[in-house]
């Protein structure tokens, strides 16, 4: 009994000590939180809804941390814009504004996020470099803010600790030359769907050894992709699609041994042929090069690319035939797109052996001969097998009449009836079929001998 009471007393003392150690947020930061809430979400009585210490009780999206032995709390994260019930940050009103001076009172701010906050009234991108504490920011995130405009020029260069810079779906434009490459700790650089333009400086990637995600898709970037990309050896995902990058795809891509996702599609990379460097990127799972006029033939590199799950090689000016080895080695492929090229010759029957394939597009080439796929394969893919636009391609009567639920449209029926290899073996004894027959007989004899 006495022991029980003692431990209860100790517990009470410890709890009281812990509470005392957690001193409240200083009034200046507390006030600054209210002011920024009022500016992005006017009309909500934030002060009366959250009258207490905001580090103990704050709206979702406001987070604090305790620093050093003095245990003084500081605001470390501010996230605005209702994302979902799991991330119910303060909703932004259509007339949200952001004056960067509102951020001055937060010496330890690490993360700042705005989701659908600047959607109507034009808001210039704030000058984060003007904040004296700018260097504490590690994550700067703007998602779906179409009314956020202006350029980043001269506005983020001082954010030396930046680990994640995410700007997607904004009206921000201009170049990236004055700041890209300045953040040695950068792990994620996502600038998709904005109005960025201009060239990427030659040495941009020299110091980006920690970069894992690079997504510059859907902008107006131009010029060559710098060879220095080869220094960013931590990269897992590279998406440069839908820009105006030109010149040669850098051979230094071979340095990027960890990349799993590579999308260079819909740029202006020029007629330098298929980039053989891909064969030296052992972790590739998805590769998209469509919409660049690289020209040349599809090389026979697929033995080294067995991890591929998706490959898009549409509209590339490819000539020659489809290598059989694609069907032999791409056992993990779900998607293969070779449409809108100038490929000729027969469709390798090996493609029909790919068990995981669900989407195969060979449309608009110059392929010829018999479609080599089984009825099972045809019905498995259904409308996801695209073969139209190959004038000399034909389909067997038996397949066309089989209850295959796909639209092979105007593909003609092959003229000569199909003779299976089995039938050939039994019915005719041409010299070319004598050898396999002899081999079979000898094999059976050998088996009998061995088993005796």
Contact footprint for ligand NAG (CB under 6 A): 42-43, 93, 95, 127, 129-130, 154-155, 181-182, 203, 206-207, 227, 230-231, 252, 255, 342, 344, 366, 368
Q: Are 77 and 63 in contact (CB under 8 A)?
A: yes
Tokens of residue 287, six digits: 């590769």
Cα distances from 306 to residues 233, 237, 298, in angstroms, run 21, 18, 16
- Work out how close the CB of 25 gets to ligand NAG at its nearest, in angstroms, rounded to a whole number: 27
Cα distances from 207 to residues 28, 42, 203, 232, in angstroms, run 37, 42, 8, 8
- Work out how close the CB of 298 gets to ligand NAG at its nearest, in angstroms, rounded to a whole number: 15
- Work out how close the CB of 90 gets to ligand NAG at its nearest, in angstroms, rounded to a whole number: 12
Chain-centroid distance, C-alpha 244: 18
Listed residue (112, 186, 183) closest to 148, CA to CA: 112
- Work out how close the CB of 230 gets to ligand NAG at its nearest, in angstroms, rounded to a whole number: 3
Residue nearest to ligand NAG (CB): 230
- Work out how close the CB of 392 gets to ligand NAG at its nearest, in angstroms, rounded to a whole number: 6
Strands of 244-247's sheet in order across: 173-174, 195-199, 220-223, 244-247, 268-269
- Work out how close the CB of 198 gets to ligand NAG at its nearest, in angstroms, rounded to a whole number: 16
Provide the strand spans (E) within 325-452. 335-337, 344-345, 359-361, 366-370, 385-386, 392-395, 412-413
Q: Which is nearer to ligand NAG, 61 or 181 (CB)?
A: 181
- Work out how close the CB of 338 gets to ligand NAG at its nearest, in angstroms, rounded to a whole number: 15
Q: For residues 81 and 169, what is the distance between their CA atoms, to the nearest angstrom?
A: 14
The DSSP H or E segment spanning 198 is: strand 195-199
Q: Which is nearer to ligand NAG, 128 or 221 (CB)?
A: 128
* Residue 141, strand partner residues: 113, 166
Q: Which is nearer to ligand NAG, 56 or 121 (CB)?
A: 121
Q: Are 119 and 147 in contact (CB under 8 A)?
A: yes
Q: Which is nearer to ligand NAG, 182 or 380 (CB)?
A: 182
- Work out how close the CB of 396 gets to ligand NAG at its nearest, in angstroms, rounded to a whole number: 20
- Work out how close the CB of 82 gets to ligand NAG at its nearest, in angstroms, rounded to a whole number: 13
Q: Are 286 and 309 in contact (CB under 8 A)?
A: yes
Q: Which is nearer to ligand NAG, 53 or 199 (CB)?
A: 199
Q: Which is nearer to ligand NAG, 230 or 312 (CB)?
A: 230
Q: Which is nearer to ligand NAG, 186 or 333 (CB)?
A: 186
- Provide CB contacts within 8 A for 232, sequence distance 6+: 205, 208, 209, 211, 214, 256
Listed residue (350, 407, 351) closest to 379, CA to CA: 407
Tell me if residue 337 falls in helix, strand or coil.
strand
Listed residue (105, 125, 106, 129) closest to 114, CA to CA: 125
Q: Which is nearer to ligand NAG, 197 or 209 (CB)?
A: 209
Tell me if residue 48 falls in helix, strand or coil.
helix
Q: Are 259 and 283 in contact (CB under 8 A)?
A: yes
Q: Which is nearer to ligand NAG, 55 or 393 (CB)?
A: 393
Q: For residues 403 and 379, what is the distance between their CA atoms, to the nearest angstrom?
A: 8
- Work out how close the CB of 296 gets to ligand NAG at its nearest, in angstroms, rounded to a whole number: 15
Q: Which is nearer to ligand NAG, 43 or 409 (CB)?
A: 43
Q: Which is nearer to ligand NAG, 116 or 242 (CB)?
A: 116
- Work out how close the CB of 122 gets to ligand NAG at its nearest, in angstroms, rounded to a whole number: 14
């Amino acid at each position: 009994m006495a022991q029980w009471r003692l431990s209860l007393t100790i517990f009470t003392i410890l709890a009281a000590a812990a509470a005392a150690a957690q001193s409240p947020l200083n009034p200046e930061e507390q006030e600054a939180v209210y002011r920024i809430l009022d500016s992005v979400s006017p009309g909500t009585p934030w002060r009366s809804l959250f009258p207490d210490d905001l580090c103990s009780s704050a709206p979702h999206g406001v987070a604090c941390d305790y620093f050093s032995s003095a245990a003084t709390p500081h605001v470390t994260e501010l996230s605005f814009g209702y994302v979902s019930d799991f991330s119910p940050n303060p909703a932004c009103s259509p007339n949200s504004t952001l004056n960067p001076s509102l951020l001055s009172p937060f010496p330890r701010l690490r993360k700042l996020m705005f989701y659908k906050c600047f959607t109507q009234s034009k808001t210039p991108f704030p000058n984060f470099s003007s904040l004296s504490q700018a260097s504490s920011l590690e994550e700067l995130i703007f998602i779906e803010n179409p009314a956020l405009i202006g350029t980043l020029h001269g506005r983020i260069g001082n954010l030396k600790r930046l680990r994640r810079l995410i700007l997607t779906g904004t009206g921000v434009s201009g170049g990236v030359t004055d700041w890209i490459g300045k953040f040695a700790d950068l792990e994620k650089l996502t600038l998709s769907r904005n109005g960025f333009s201009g060239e990427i400086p030659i040495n941009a990637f020299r110091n980006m050894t920690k970069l894992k995600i690079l997504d510059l898709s859907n902008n107006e970037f131009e010029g060559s992709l710098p060879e220095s990309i080869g220094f960013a050896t931590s990269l897992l995902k590279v998406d440069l699609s839908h820009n105006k990058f030109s010149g040669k795809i850098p051979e230094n891509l071979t340095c990027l041994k960890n990349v799993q996702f590579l999308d260079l599609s819909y740029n202006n990379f020029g007629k330098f042929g298929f980039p053989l460097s891909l064969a030296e990127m052992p972790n590739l799972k998805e590769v998209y090069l469509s919409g660049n006029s690289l020209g040349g033939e599809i090389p026979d590199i697929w033995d080294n690319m067995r991890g591929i799950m998706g490959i898009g090689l549409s509209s590339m000016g490819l000539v020659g035939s489809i290598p059989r080895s694609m069907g032999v080695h791409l056992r993990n492929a779900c998607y293969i797109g070779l449409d809108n090229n100038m490929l000729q010759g027969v469709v390798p029957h090996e493609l029909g052996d790919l068990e995981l394939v669900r989407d195969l597009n060979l449309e608009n080439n110059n392929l010829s001969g018999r479609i080599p796929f089984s009825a099972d394969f045809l019905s498995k893919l259904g409308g996801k097998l695209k073969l139209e636009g190959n004038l000399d391609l034909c389909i067997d009567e038996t397949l066309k009449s089989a209850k295959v639920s796909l639209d092979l449209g105007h593909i003609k029926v092959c003229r000569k009836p199909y003779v299976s290899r089995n039938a050939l073996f039994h019915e005719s004894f041409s010299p070319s079929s004598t050898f396999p027959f002899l081999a079979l007989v000898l094999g059976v004899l050998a088996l009998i001998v061995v088993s005796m």
